Copies of this chain bind each other. A is one copy, B any other.
């Protein structure tokens, strides 16, 4: 087991990364009150809920659970309210803990609920997908979607502790493992060329689910994100680098409808568009763009999206939160392994980069 600390002053917290973690023992020091609400979904429930209820009972906790339907399309205000219903029906107080057991959607919703319930209670994360282990478990971004935009309503809420257990990845569909690898590759592309080389050595074993290599990939990804988040918790500056591929990706997700493409799949194609635009601006070579595409393809990820009318694509991009004072900012690659945030780019080049990675033969 490896331990990583996210350094956020008095909200510093550990991430435990390994296989078959000793849940009960690891959670014990981080559960403050007596009451714990486990929020999960109906896919994870039959697999792991009982294990965590037992671990909490072993810690002498008063436990309740709230099971939501699985899927990004339920990440809305209506289903958020079901968590509040469960907390109030259980009679839970200000010193309770909300434990998120599931992927990114569950983490986002349970985290946001914990930020709002009684104006803030404790939060613990047990991410059960690779994507949530490397992404939402670090940084404290929580929230829900709105019909007019993704993650438009939310809060910054840091957990007390995160348990990233590789054994939970065994039950993950291959498509979701690949979606998680998209975020892993993102960390390499935006800030760590060594890590990109490491991924190029091990991608097939990662896709096959090698737990030791996955744990190493999770550790390096979280360490990278933790360093950025510690220096810029509220995304005033450097943290926006983590959005490499996201402005393009959000447009793809929004147009196709949440959940049709997985978040990681949209980000993969979004990163290719960002790399392509970086090349059009003369920052990276076409060989660099190919290297991006290759590592994504080896991770079984899409590098082109279905045909989307350009004006719709642009409209969805402008709904993205990376618009400041009405001005679109993009995360692009200064070089491979070094991203920058910029609002100085040629709009026509951006449109070409989008169109170059649409595939009219793809159907949703």
Query: What residues of chain A have their CB less than 8 Å away from a CB belonging to chain B?
Result: 33-34, 77, 81, 84-85, 88-89, 91, 93-95, 115-120, 141, 143, 146, 148-149, 151-156, 234, 318-319, 321, 323-326
- Chain B residue contacts of A324, Cβ below 8 A: 93-95
B77 touches A156 (CB 8 A): no
Q: CA–CA, A117 to B148, complex, Å?
A: 12
**14 A-B pairs in the complex with CB atoms less than 8 angstroms apart:** A34-B325, A77-B77, A84-B153, A85-B146, A91-B319, A93-B323, A93-B324, A94-B323, A118-B321, A119-B143, A119-B151, A119-B155, A120-B156, A155-B155
One complex includes copies of this chain to the number of 2
User: B88 to A77, Cβ gap below 8 A?
Assistant: no
**Complex Cα spacing A342 to B182, Å:** 54
Whether the pair B119, A149 counts as a contact (CB closer than 8 A) is no
Is the contact region of chain A dominated by helix, strand, or loop, or is it mixed?
mixed
Residue of B at shortest CB range from A83? B153
A245 to chain B, nearest CB (A): 19
- What is the CA–CA distance of A24 and B128 in the complex, to the nearest angstrom? 52
Q: Which chain B residues border A34 with CB–CB below 8 Å? A: 325-326
- CB-CB nearest 7 A-B residue pairs: A88-B148, A119-B154, A116-B153, A93-B323, A118-B321, A77-B81, A94-B321
Interface centre among A33, A95, A116 (most CB of B within 10 A): A116
Chain B residues within an 8 Å CB radius of A84: 77, 146, 152-153
Q: A88-B148, A149-B88 given as contacts; is B93 within 8 A of A326 (CB)?
A: yes
Chain B residues within an 8 Å CB radius of A120: 155-156, 234
